[in-house]
Amino acid sequence: MSTLDKEHRLEMVSYADSVNRGLLVDTVTGSARLEVEGQVGNTLVTINHGSPGVRGRVIWNGLVSYDQVWVSGSHWATAVTFSHDVTVNGVDIPAGIYALFTIPGREEWTWIINTNYDQHLAEEYTESEDLVRLNVKPIALENTVQRLNYEVMETGNRSGIIALSWDKIRIELPFQFE
């Protein structure tokens, strides 16, 4: 990645953070490609995703349909890279790069880790390429998250989460590491 690409991504992350904190009004109409990182123990987790904005739209069961596989961002599948092996829902995931998909629902969401990270939307998605699926309950947020956001956080001695927040919903994908 060129220095210019890195600078642009840092600017867009800063912009999205400022919008989500209410410091800026969201004026960007596109969905910037962002990359966030988090260190959990000895494992670096990197998430590359499209970051669409709410911009007054109905998101859940509007822009994003319930009960259908979603790229969990915009345009290209959200890519997650684990620098070391992790375990998700009892399934060992070798270090590498994967696609993160979700199936949003009113009462329950499904996280999906898929081996094919280079996909446009969910058009090329194939369930047989899934490594793991995990059902989770969405967490209602008091304040609206204007730009889709991912976070990586350590939660314990050998555990962490990947969190997706957008609009008034947050979902968390727990993982363990050696």
Going 55 to 45 to 127 to 87, the CA torsion angle's sign is: negative
- Domain count across the chain: 1
Q: What average pLDDT does this structure show over 106-118?
A: 97
Which residues form the domain of 169?
3-177
Q: What amino acid is encoded at 34 in this protein?
A: L
- For residues 41 and 158, is the Cβ–Cβ distance under 8 A? yes
Can you tell me the distance from the alpha carbon of 79 to that of 171, in angstroms, rounded to the nearest whole number?
17
Instruction: Please say if the pLDDT value at position 23 is more than 60.
Output: no
Q: What average pLDDT does this structure show over 62-84?
A: 96
